[in-house]
Copies of this chain bind each other. A is one copy, B any other.
Amino acid sequence: MSRIVMKFGGTSVANLDCIRNVARRVKKEVDQGNQVSVFVSAMAGTTDKLVGWVEEISPLHDAREYDTVVSAGEQITSGLLALALQDIGVPARSWLGWQIPFKTNQAHSAAQVEEIEIKALNERLREGTVCVIAGFQGISSDNRITTLGRGGSDTSAVALAAAIGADRCDIYTDVDGVFTADPRIVPSAQKLEKVTYEEMLEMASLGAKVLQTRSVVMAMNHKVRVQVLSSFTDKPGTLLIDEDEIVENKVVSGITFDKNEAQVMLIGVKNNPGIASDVFKRLANENINVDMIIQNETEGGRKTDITFTVAENDATKVEKILNGAENIDFKNLITDMNVAKISVVGVGMRSHAGVAATMFETLADRGINIQVISTSEIKISVLIEAVYTELAVRSLHTAYGLDSK
């Protein structure tokens, strides 16, 4: 007997046939004597539709009402999956965030999980009932529905897996697992059998949208055995593991890209001490996440150029903030939307020299100019012109020997 948490994304519950398919997968686990909790997302397209309504009816919407509206999607699928399970003879009941209760803080639409009351769930699991839980939602201390942000169902599932000490947390999606690169761009990309939490974290935050970043952090912190796999095939997926479980140490695990960043260049900034801190504090105050940052001096140190990247849809806001900042004295502000961030990820990098050199050489050979470089222990990212994205990803995939034979 194992305790298993399963999570099915929007495409896996897109319609009634898909929901019946999910029910059959859940039944298989039950038939093997496992205690099963299942998280469901909203049917594909539902959350987008609800979010669209909220934004249309009130551009500056109250996040509490946003959460009330959009959480309805998961409510519907949780009830439908419980019914589909009952219909094939599997005892099941649905649970909404407030019924568990799945307690979060009051940061509506991006809430953090605080505590999950597992007593009632545990009783049901022990008596053999499948607990079908609406993902992505919780309840705040003032008794209102909260949501965990887009992709939050992954976080819901991992949080429960940690809380009930699940043996496995299976995240079902519409791809077979985590790949060395996006297979739509690199046909020779290979599925990774295993990937470390750290690598997955870099990949998730770099735009490989298989798992939500927060869910990976949580899995890593609580050592939850997460598996990513497809609900449409029976192939094994990708298992998230600890670094010390690695047997064969590949240098590079994957190549990712992200076209949703914008490059902002502040040219000829008067170089006072604390100028960079002032720029980025202003952006932080407006909840704008800055990703890559470089700064270099010009005019013998009297001036400096500051270049950084932000999410594309924050770019206009950034321009407004900086143009309106009286104490920041600069000559020119240039925003470039036509950029892509290409990243090479791998825990093996730590012990292998020359990974960066290979990257720069490969791109140079293709005539691709590097605009910004940023590195972490297990990742090298570069900013390039967006039109070269596919060429860059494919070339690097080959250069690091990731192509399937």
> Contacting A72 at CB < 8 Å: which of B16, B53, B57, B72?
B72
Q: Is A80 an interface residue (CB 8 A)?
A: yes
**Inter-subunit contact B72/A76 (CB<8 Å):** yes
**Inter-subunit contact B83/A61 (CB<8 Å):** yes
Q: Is A396 an interface residue (CB 8 A)?
A: no
Given A19-B57, A58-B83, A83-B58, the answer on whether A64 and B93 have CB atoms closer than 8 Å is yes
**Inter-subunit contact B75/A62 (CB<8 Å):** no
**Inter-subunit contact B58/A79 (CB<8 Å):** no
**Inter-subunit contact B62/A69 (CB<8 Å):** no
User: Complex formed: what's the CA distance from A72 to B94 in Å?
Assistant: 13
Given A75-B75, A99-B143, the answer on whether A56 and B16 have CB atoms closer than 8 Å is yes
Q: Is A388 an interface residue (CB 8 A)?
A: no
**Inter-subunit contact A58/B87 (CB<8 Å):** yes
Q: A67: nearest residue on chain B (CB-CB)? A: B79
* Chain A 43-70 interface mask (CB, 8 Å, partner B; 1/0): 0000000100110111111101110110
Most buried by B among A53, A98, A144: A53
How far in angstroms is the closest Cβ of chain B from A134?
9
Q: Is A161 an interface residue (CB 8 A)?
A: no
User: Complex formed: what's the CA distance from A75 to B96 in Å?
Assistant: 13
Chain B residues, Cβ within 8 Å of A86: 58, 61-62, 65
How far in angstroms is the closest Cβ of chain B from A66?
7
How far in angstroms is the closest Cβ of chain B from A55?
10
**Inter-subunit contact A79/B94 (CB<8 Å):** no
**Inter-subunit contact A68/B58 (CB<8 Å):** no
Q: Is A82 an interface residue (CB 8 A)?
A: yes
Q: Is A20 an interface residue (CB 8 A)?
A: yes
Q: Is A84 an interface residue (CB 8 A)?
A: yes
**Inter-subunit contact B99/A80 (CB<8 Å):** no
**Inter-subunit contact B78/A68 (CB<8 Å):** yes
Q: A69: nearest residue on chain B (CB-CB)? A: B79
* Chain A 138-164 interface mask (CB, 8 Å, partner B; 1/0): 000001110000000000000000000
Q: A143: nearest residue on chain B (CB-CB)? A: B99
**Inter-subunit contact B79/A96 (CB<8 Å):** no
> Contacting A65 at CB < 8 Å: which of B53, B59, B60, B94?
B94
**Inter-subunit contact B78/A75 (CB<8 Å):** no
**Inter-subunit contact B98/A79 (CB<8 Å):** no
**Inter-subunit contact A16/B53 (CB<8 Å):** yes
User: Complex formed: what's the CA distance from A59 to B68 in Å?
Assistant: 29
* Chain A 68-107 interface mask (CB, 8 Å, partner B; 1/0): 1101110110111011101100000110101100000000
25 CB contacts below 8 A, A to B, read: A16-B56, A19-B57, A57-B83, A57-B84, A57-B87, A58-B83, A58-B84, A59-B87, A62-B83, A64-B93, A65-B80, A65-B82, A65-B94, A66-B79, A68-B75, A68-B79, A68-B82, A68-B94, A69-B79, A69-B80, A69-B83, A72-B73, A72-B75, A75-B75, A99-B143
